A and B are shown apart, each in its own frame.
Chain A
Amino acid sequence: MEWIRQKLDKFKEPFAKGKKLEKYSPAINALDTFLYTPNHTTQKGAHIRDAVDLKRVMITVVIALIPVLLFSMWNTGYQYLKQIQPEVDFWDAFGHGALEILPMIVVSYAVGLGIEFAFAIFRGHEVNEGYLVTGLLIPMIMPVGLPLWMLAISVVFAVIIGKEAFGGTGMNILNPALTARAFAFFAYPTYMSGNQVWVMNAAKVDGVSGETILGTLAAGQPVEYDSMDMFMGLIPGSVSETSAVLCLLGALFLIFTKVGSWRIMLSAVIGAAAMGLIFNALPMMGVEGNALTNFPWYNHLIVGGLAFGIVYMATDPVSASQTLKGKWIYGFLIGFFSVMIRVFNPAYPEGVMLAILLMNVFAPTIDHYVIQANIKRRLKRKNEGINAQINTAV
C-alpha cells in the first residue's frame, strides 16, 4: 500500500505551501485525509489524543442510516409495485426503489459537496465533514418523486443560506437537512404534499391510494394500515421516514456509540407521548375531538417522520441544545410540538420538521437559561463569601 501513499505525496506537491496551486489545497487535503488519517503530531497541549475525530463521528451516523436507507429502497419499490400487481418480488421492489433513490443521493452529494469544497477553498479552511451526514439525510426526507433539479436547489439553499452564511459547520442555527426540506416544502408545495407524491409514479397509476396516514387522518378518511405496518414501515411517506423499527435500531446504535444524545431522543419520545395522551384524554373531558386527536398516542410515535426526525435530526449536536439540562427540555418540546402541529394545523399533516426547526431556533435560548443558572450559583457563592468576611470583620 506504500505506493499509493507515494503517488499521493507526489500528486500533492504542486498544492504545497508557497506553490502554484496552494489555494486549492483544501480540496486535495479532503481527498487525501479521506484515504489516510494524516501524520500530524501534537505540537502543543496534551501529547496524546483520542482516536476519535469528526470524520469518524460523521461516518458513524452514516452507518446508523444505512439500514433505514436500504429498507426505504425496498419499501419505495414495494409501495409502487403493490398498486399495479398482486405479488411483489423482493429484488424487483428493491431495484425499483434503488433506481429512484440513488440518483437523489448522487445529486445531493454532488451539489452539496461541490459548494462545501468551493467555500473551503474560498475561505482557506479544511473541508468539514458535516455534509457527509446532511447530504445523505436530504434525499432521505424528501418525497420519492421529487424532481432532481428541485432537490439540487434545496441543497443549494440549505448549504449556502442555512449553513455557510452562518460560518459553516458548527455555526449553523438550523439543521441543514431540514432547512432543505423546509425550502422545498414552501417553494414547491405541490411536490411536497398532497396524496400524489408519497408513492413513486402515483399520479400515473389509476386508483392509487398513496396518501400518508397523517394525511388520511387530516382528510377525515379511515386508515387502512394497522399499528404493526406503521411500526415496521410498510406505509407511504417520505423516502426513509416510514420504518419506526429501523429508526429504533439506528437510535440504539447511535446511543451505544455515544454519538447521538439519548437524552434528546428519550425526552422527545416522552414529549410526543405526553401530547398524544393529552389529546386522547379529550373525550373523557367531554370534548369530542377529531380523527387526529383520537389517534392513539402510541401510533403518533410510529407514523410519519417523528421517529426519523427525533433520531437523526433532533440530535444534530450543532443545532440542538448543548447543555445536558437543555437537551432534556429541547427534546421534550420537539416531541410535544410535533404532535401538537399535526393535530392543530390542517395545512401541515406532519409537524416534526417544523417542531425541530422551531426548537433549533430556541435551543440557544434554552442553553442561555441553563448557563445563567450556573452563573447565578457562582455569584451567590461569591456574595456569601463576602458576607462571611464582613461578619468576621465586624
Chain B
Amino acid sequence: MSNDIRINKGLTLRLKGEAEKVLVDASRFKTYAVKPPDFHAVIPKMVVKEGAKVQAGDELFFSKYTGEVRFTSPVSGTLKEIKRGEKRRILEVVIEADASDSYREFGTMDPLSADADAVKARILESGGGAFLNQRPYDIPADPKDTPKAIFVSALNTAPLSADVEFILKDRLDAFQAGLNALSRLTPGKVHVSVPGNGAGTFSGLQNVEIHKVFGPHPAANVGVQIHKIDPINAGERVWTIKPEDVANIGDLFLTGRFTAVRTVAVCGSEAKDRKYYRTIIGAPVAELIGDVSTKDVRIISGDVLTGTQVNRDQYLGFFPNELTLIPEGNQYRMFGWLPFTYNNIPSNSRTSLTWMFPKRKYEVNTNLHGEERALVVTGEMEEVLPMDLFPMQLLKACMGADIEKMENLGIYEVAPEDFALIDYVNTSKIEAQEIIRLGLDLMITEVG
C-alpha cells in the first residue's frame, strides 16, 4: 500500500523492565498537578487562587500571549498550592482531589454535523486546546492558525514506551469521535499512523488517512512521519496530538466532559509493579511507583530518551504515557574506554560485543559513559535519523546561531525528540536535543 511508511534508519533499544499488559484502575489519587513548564514557551496567567474549588474542566490558567488556549483542571477538587520557582515562575498547580468526580458540563455535540467554529470553540473552552502541538518549533498550537494537516502517531517505538493499541483498545469510540472533531480543524487531512505489525486495532478508523508504519525507533516520532507524508516547508503549520488526547477530545463531544484520562505504563528495571495504570493527567509519582526505594534511582516522567527527571514527591507531566525508573549510573568504571569490555552496556558501535546478541535485553543506567568532546566521528548521526537532512551540519548551524543555514538545512522539520537517539549514540556526548531546542527557540524569536 502506498500509504505505508517504511523506516530503515534508526535503532531499537531493548531494555529490561517493560510494563506488563495489565490495566489497573488508579483513578483516585489524593493530589494531581498541572505543570505549566510542560507547555513550552507558554507564560501562564492564573485565573483561580489557592484554596478555590474547581471542577474537572474549570479553567486554571491561560497563556498570556495566546489567550484562547485555556488550561483546565483535569480533576475536581481544591486548588491546594501554586508552586513557584525562580523569578516566581509557576512550576506546579497542585489540586487536592475530591472523593468523587464532578465535571463541568459542556454538553454533547456531534462534531461532524456541527459548525466547524463551534467544534473549535468547544475544544478550546474545555481545555482540549492544551493537547494540540504545532510543528515547526514543537510548541503549543496557536488556535488562530489553520494547520495544513493534523498528524496523530498512534504507535510508540521508543524503548519501554507504552503500547498505544493497548491503551486505546477500550476507548475506540472516543478516539474516533476525537478524530472527527480534529478533521474539522483543518482544511487538509488528519493523518493517523498505526503500527505496521500491530494487532490492527485501528484498522476501522474513518475520516482519516491511515498510514502503517514499519521500522525501528524513531519510526513512531510524528516528526519523522510528517517528513515522509507531507513535509513542512518554511511558513507552513501543522498540528500534532498524542493518541490518548484524541480520545480525551472525543470524550468532550460524546459526554460533554473533560475527562483528562491518562494511562501510564510504569516501567524500567527499578520499578516494582510494572503495569499500566489508568489515572488522570498529572498523577503523583509517589503513588504510582509504590514503596520502591528511590535511592540512586532516576525517575523519568516519560521515556528514557525524551522524558524529564522528576522526584518522588513531584507529579507526572501533562503528556507522557510512561513513568520510567532506571538506576543512576554514578559509579566509576575502571578502564571503561577499553573496546570490547563492559559488554553489559549496550552500544550501537561495534566497539562493544553487544551486537552479537540482538535479542538480549539490557539494564541501563544514566552514566554518560564518557565525557563531552569535540565532534570527531562522522556518519553516526545519519544512521539513526531517518530524514533527508544532515543532522550534524544542522546541529552545528544551531550552535553557531546561523539562521539562514538552519532554515536551509531543515530546522522546520525537526523537533528535539527526533534528535533523542543522536543524544544517545553520538561519541562526543553532545546534547543534541538541547541544541535543537535552543535553535528552535531562536527561530521563534527571529522568524516567528
Contacts and interface: CB of A to CB of B under 8 A. Distances in A.
A33 B142 CA distance: 48
A171 B351 contact: no
A38 interface: yes
A259 B348 CA distance: 12
Which among B328, B350, B352 has the highest number of chain A CB atoms within 10 Å? B350
Contacts of B445: none
B432 interface: yes
Contact of A317 (B347, B352, B376): B376
A85 interface: no
A44 B436 CA distance: 13
Interface string B405-448: 00011100000000011011111110111100000000000000
Given A60-B339, A378-B408, A50 B424 contact: yes
Contacts of B366: 41-42, 47-48
A280 B431 CA distance: 52
A82 interface: no
Contacts of A375: 408-409
A266 to B, nearest CB: 14
B379 interface: yes
A1 B334 contact: yes
A35 B335 CA distance: 5
Interface in A248-307: 256-259, 261
A95 interface: no
Interface in B255-310: 298, 300, 304-307, 309
Interface stretch (A173-181, A189-197, A320-328, A352-360): A320-328
A36 B332 CA distance: 6
A191 to B, nearest CB: 32
Contacts of A378: 233, 389, 408, 410
Contact of B365 (A48, A56, A256): A48
B431 A37 contact: no
B376 A41 contact: no
A318 to B, nearest CB: 6
Interface string A40-75: 111011111111111111011001000000000000
B379 A324 contact: yes
B350 A256 contact: yes
Interface stretch (B40-48, B67-75, B102-110, B367-375): B367-375
Contacts of B331: 39
Contacts of A53: 337, 369-371, 373, 427, 429
Contact of A52 (B367, B369, B434): B369
Contact of A39 (B345, B367, B376): B367
B200 interface: no
Which among A1, A4, A55 has the highest number of chain B CB atoms within 10 Å? A55
A42 B372 CA distance: 11
A129 interface: yes
Interface string B311-342: 00000000000001010111111111111001
Nearest to A375: B408
A37 B336 contact: yes
Nearest to B307: A47
A44 B433 contact: yes
Contacts of B335: 35-37
Nearest to A255: B350
Nearest to B373: A54
B111 interface: no
Interface in B371-397: 371-379, 382, 388-390, 392-393
B326 A47 contact: yes
Contacts of A56: 337-339, 349, 351, 370, 427
Contacts of A4: 334
B231 interface: yes
Given A36-B336, A59-B338, A46 B420 contact: yes
Which among B334, B374, B408, B434 has the highest number of chain A CB atoms within 10 Å? B374
Interface in A146-170: 168-170
B250 interface: no
Contacts of A59: 337-339
Contact of B374 (A50, A51, A128, A324): A128
A52 to B, nearest CB: 4
Contacts of A47: 298, 300, 304-305, 307, 309, 324, 326, 366
A374 interface: yes
A52 B351 contact: yes
A63 B371 CA distance: 21
A322 B410 CA distance: 18
Interface in B143-174: 159
A22 interface: no
Nearest to A2: B332
A185 B408 CA distance: 42
Contacts of B351: 51-52, 56-57, 60, 257, 259
A128 B440 CA distance: 30
Given A35-B334, A257-B339, A371-B390, A51 B373 contact: no
B67 to A, nearest CB: 29
Nearest to B436: A45
A391 B432 CA distance: 40
Nearest to A318: B376
B339 A169 contact: no
A371 to B, nearest CB: 6
23 contacts: A35-B334, A36-B333, A44-B431, A45-B433, A46-B305, A50-B346, A50-B369, A50-B426, A51-B347, A51-B369, A53-B373, A54-B377, A54-B428, A56-B338, A56-B349, A56-B370, A57-B376, A171-B374, A259-B377, A322-B392, A374-B389, A378-B389, A379-B408
**10 closest A-B pairs by CB:** A53-B370, A37-B336, A170-B374, A55-B337, A46-B423, A382-B233, A51-B345, A51-B347, A36-B332, A52-B349
Interface of B: 13, 159, 231, 233-234, 236, 298, 300, 304-307, 309, 324, 326, 328-339, 342, 345-352, 354, 364-379, 382, 388-390, 392-393, 408-410, 420-421, 423-429, 431-434
Interface of A: 1, 4-5, 33-42, 44-57, 59-60, 63, 126, 128-130, 168-171, 256-259, 261, 317-318, 320, 322-324, 327, 371, 374-375, 377-379, 381-382, 385
